[in-house]
Structure 1
Amino acid sequence: MSKFGNLSVIFDLDGTLVDSEPNYYEAGRQTLAEHGVPDFSWAEHERYVGVSTLETAVLWKQKYALAASVDELLADTNRRYLELARAATRAYPEMRKFVELLATEGVPMAVASGSSPEAIEAILAGTGLDAYLRTVVSADEVPRGKPAPDVFLEAARRLGVTPADCVVLEDAAPGAAAAYSAGMRCIAIPYVAAQSGAPEFATADLLLRGGQAGFTARGAYDWLVRSARSS
């Protein structure tokens, strides 16, 4: 029997597997500037980390009283983001090692992301992670994005596993909340260190307050083995 038992692992994409937030910030900055908001800052962008692109467009329209429709804002941002993502997106080295370790052990894996299907496909292909991560769910494919559990539950359904046997890796508070609501265990790796004290992260089974700087493939692997033994 596998040392991981029936465990499956579901990865968030942006800020967890890959450092794509700079690209999302630049795409959003350019879109908002085109629609009359010239001073969108990185600090403002951090408020939307972990929020789906669709929900972000809804919030922008409300916050800045934009004349453009939500669909237009979403399309503009996604177009710009895809251009940036295809040019350069970096997978976190320890995350890549972790994925490779799990693949060697035959652990079922999926990606569940707030990004569009096109963005997910472009990033996984560009980083080579698509060789290991073939089950993919976008928030565009489910009724509600994070913090609702829909995207994680759909990933479990596609993997053919029960939510209680899933461990989620997440960098954002809405994602940690979604994992908890889905009845899944969670390894939280906060992208924004200042947000590590958010109540949503308190529900995580393993919280790495230092974010990616505190994450190692071997450490996560050993934690999963212990988690499987105790489940």
Structure 2
Amino acid sequence: MSSPRTAAVLFDLDGTLIDTEPLYYEATRRVLARHGAPDFGWEQHAGFIGVGTRETLEALAARYAIGSPVDALLAEVNGEHLELLRSSAEVFPQMRKLVERLCAAGVPMAVASGSSREAIGAALAHGGLAGFFPVAVSAEEVGAGKPEPDVFFEAARRLGVAPDACAVLEDSGPGVAAAHAAGMRCLAVLSVPVGPGERPGPAFRTAELVFGGGHAEFTARAAYDWLAV
């Protein structure tokens, strides 16, 4: 049985389209170290992948008893992250191939991300993808970030496409949950891959197609065939 035709494709940014998770980790690590929390490691960061930056910092400020306002911490992290984005953001090669193929087929695309608008713009510009995405929605522009579906609903609205005609590409459990809540099909490329023979966790059960091995397993051809555009 063939998959239903996809009218539009919505991409998460961080860890899905562009390899920015290490940059977010480094930006957060630097800021926390300045505020007296030098032991923030990648394992702790991995637990927040897919969660909005503000929500992450609210949790970390409480965990490390940081007295600075969350808005001030957010400004610091965004500043550090933008510096890194402008020099280090790399598009995952197979994702670039998929974007180019979808563009050639005339499929509308959007970015729907928990990042700030400035960060989204910097990442797409540095990665050479800005021209492919006429619509980019930040969690800053909607009522709530993922796992709430707001960014996906807004991206579909701006593209003029019904939500149930959209497909989402995500890398995190909260993102998959947001896509499911929006009534959209979801393809997941795990940003924290599972080992050979292991199954992805329950957070990914509502995704229709899962690349448990992450970007090492993902191919543009398999994704394009699944999208059935």
Shorter-chain TM-score bucket reads over 0.9
Q: Is the 8 A contact 2:5 2:227 kept in 1?
A: no
Cα distance in structure 1, aligned partners of 2:193 and 2:88: 24
Cα distance in structure 2, aligned partners of 1:104 and 1:53: 33
Report the number of matched residues: 224
Compute the displacement of 1:131 (Å).
Answer: 1.3
Residue of structure 1 equivalent to 2:90: 90
Compared CA separation, residues 75 and 136, structure 1 to 2 (3 A): same
**TM-score between both structures, scaled by the size of structure 2:** 0.94
Q: Is the 8 A contact 1:190 1:196 kept in 2?
A: no
Compute the displacement of 1:134 (Å).
Answer: 1.7
Cα distance in structure 2, aligned partners of 1:123 and 1:64: 29
The alignment-based identity, stated in percent, is: 55
Larger helix proportion of the pair:
1
Cα distance in structure 1, aligned partners of 2:58 and 2:210: 30
Compute the displacement of 1:48 (Å).
Answer: 1.0
Query: C-alpha root-mean-square deviation of aligned residues, in Å?
Result: 1.5
Compute the displacement of 1:6 (Å).
Answer: 5.2
Matched, 1:221 2:224: yes
Residue of structure 2 equivalent to 1:134: 134
Alignment of structure 1 residues 1-231 onto 2, 5 Å: 5=5, 7-194=7-194, 197-225=200-228
| SS at 1:106 equivalent | coil
Q: Is the 8 A contact 1:4 1:107 kept in 2?
A: no
Deviation sequence 1:185-209 (CA, Å, 0-9, x none): 0001110124962222000011111
Compared CA separation, residues 163 and 125, structure 1 to 2 (3 A): same
Compute the displacement of 1:78 (Å).
Answer: 0.4
- Structure 2 unaligned regions, length at least 5: none
- Structure 1 unaligned regions, length at least 5: none
**TM-score between both structures, scaled by the size of structure 1:** 0.94
Compared CA separation, residues 152 and 196, structure 1 to 2 (3 A): farther
Cα distance in structure 2, aligned partners of 1:134 and 1:196: 36
| SS at 2:111 equivalent | strand
Cα distance in structure 2, aligned partners of 1:170 and 1:191: 9
| SS at 1:48 equivalent | coil
Deviation sequence 1:155-175 (CA, Å, 0-9, x none): 000011111000000000000
Cα distance in structure 1, aligned partners of 2:135 and 2:142: 15
Cα distance in structure 1, aligned partners of 2:25 and 2:176: 21
Compute the displacement of 1:64 (Å).
Answer: 1.2
Cα distance in structure 2, aligned partners of 1:222 and 1:6: 11
